[in-house]
Amino acid sequence: MERIDDLERDGLKILQNPDKFCFGIDAVLLSDFARVRPGETMIDFGTGTGVIPILLTSKCPGAGIYYGLEIQEDMADMARRSVAMNGLGSQVRIICGDVKNAAGIFGYESANVVTCNPPYMNDAKGLINSNESLAIARHEILCTLDDIAAGAGQTLRTGGRFYMIHRPHRLAEIFECLRSHRLEPKRMQMVHPRHGDNASMVLIEAHKNEGAFLKVEKPIIIYQ
């Protein structure tokens, strides 16, 4: 059953359905990590409930258009209704489509910013949830890490920025994959549940067609 949740930012609200997929702290962390400048076009791959573009309208006002790309029609419909509920129809557009066809949908080198909170698990890791919507959100069933990096590399302009949150155990694979699609890691921030805990997530910013130089920022501790 759908519910309306308060995003606790500028009165924004969002529709969610616990039987399908609800956003977590990773989406909030990614929206805080990403930067969208005035006039820029931004695309969120696998937008789900649309939480990231909706939050970014508050954090980074003045951008051109915030797009959300979602392959599941029921999730895209719910995201569209959240956009309308917040009166953001002129700023946020939800498109139902496949990340693997992102360049065909939006055009090659059409975006300044791409964000993605992707499925973390590949076929070799983790039990697959019997709930199809949850399984698609958490496992690389409909798109892989390489599909996401390829889509970002194709849709971003030179100098454009790709923001992603993922799991640290796949970091070597992530860097290799990004570079294979002309996306150079430029900024990284580890996320730890508590002081003394191992990192559970990693935030990454990569730039298209730029040279190698990686800044590692101080870690985020979720529970102080």
pLDDT digits (tens, 9 = 90+) for 83-114: 999 999 999 999 999 999 999 999 999 999 99
All structural domains of the chain? 3-221 (3.40.50.150)
What is the C-alpha to C-alpha distance for residues 35 and 115, in angstroms, rounded to an integer? 10
Nearest CA among 116, 91, 123, 130 for reference residue 178: 116
Q: What percent of the chain is modeled with pLDDT above 70? A: 90
132 Cβ contact list (under 8 Å, min separation 6): none
Residue that is written with structure tokens 């919507």 in the block:
133
140 Cβ contact list (under 8 Å, min separation 6): 118, 119, 121, 122, 123
Q: What is the pLDDT of residue 131?
A: 47
Q: What is the pTM of this model?
A: 0.91
What is the C-alpha to C-alpha distance for residues 126 and 139, in angstroms, rounded to an integer? 8
Beta-carbon count within 10 A of 170 CB: 16
What is the C-alpha to C-alpha distance for residues 77 and 55, in angstroms, rounded to an integer? 18
pLDDT digits (tens, 9 = 90+) for 161-175: 999 999 999 999 999
Mean pLDDT of all residues in 178-202: 97
**pLDDT band for position 30 (50/70/90)?**
very high
Residue that is written with structure tokens 């003045």 in the block:
62
